[in-house]
């Protein structure tokens, strides 16, 4: 139950965080994309804190998810997946699997 609630919070944070200064370009190692992903991370942390997560937990969770998303998707692909997840269960499960892995790493294996 606790894991389901936490994962639900994460998905809400993820969807809301994606509205932050997004640029549809690929994740090259450029200053522009780093700023874009830093904006995502900061918004994720802010929203996680707003949901009651401790500062260190929110930071670890958002860093974990960001690293996993960056390893899998370009920014354009990620944004498209977030949009698609609103109506497509397979897309939502793809996002949720990253959140679940990070919740396991951050909250349950410390």
pLDDT value of position 51: 86
* 15 vs 2, more confident: 15
pLDDT value of position 11: 59
For residue 99, give the DSSP letter: H
**HEC string of 19-60?**
CCCCCCCCCCCCHHHHHHHHHHHHHHHHHHHHCCCCHHHHHH
Q: Directed axis angle between helix 89-103 and helix 2-17, to 10°?
A: 110
pLDDT tens for 14-25 read 655 555 444 444
Question: Taking the domains of the chain in order of start, what are their residue ranges?
Answer: 2-108
pLDDT tens for 37-93 read 777 788 889 888 988 889 999 999 999 999 998 999 888 888 888 788 889 999 888
Residue 110: how many CB atoms within 10 A of its CB? Answer: 8
């Amino acid at each position: 139950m606790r894991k389901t609630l936490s994962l639900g919070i994460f998905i809400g944070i993820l969807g809301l965080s994606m509205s932050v200064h997004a640029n549809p370009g690929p994740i090259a190692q450029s200053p522009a994309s780093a700023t874009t992903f830093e904006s995502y991370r900061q918004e994720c942390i802010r929203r996680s804190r707003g949901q009651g997560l401790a500062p260190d937990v929110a930071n670890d969770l958002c860093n974990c998810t960001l690293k996993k998303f960056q390893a899998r998707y370009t920014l354009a692909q990620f944004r498209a997946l977030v949009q698609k997840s609103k109506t497509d269960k397979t897309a939502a499960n793809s996002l949720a699997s990253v959140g679940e892995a990070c919740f396991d790493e951050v909250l349950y294996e410390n």
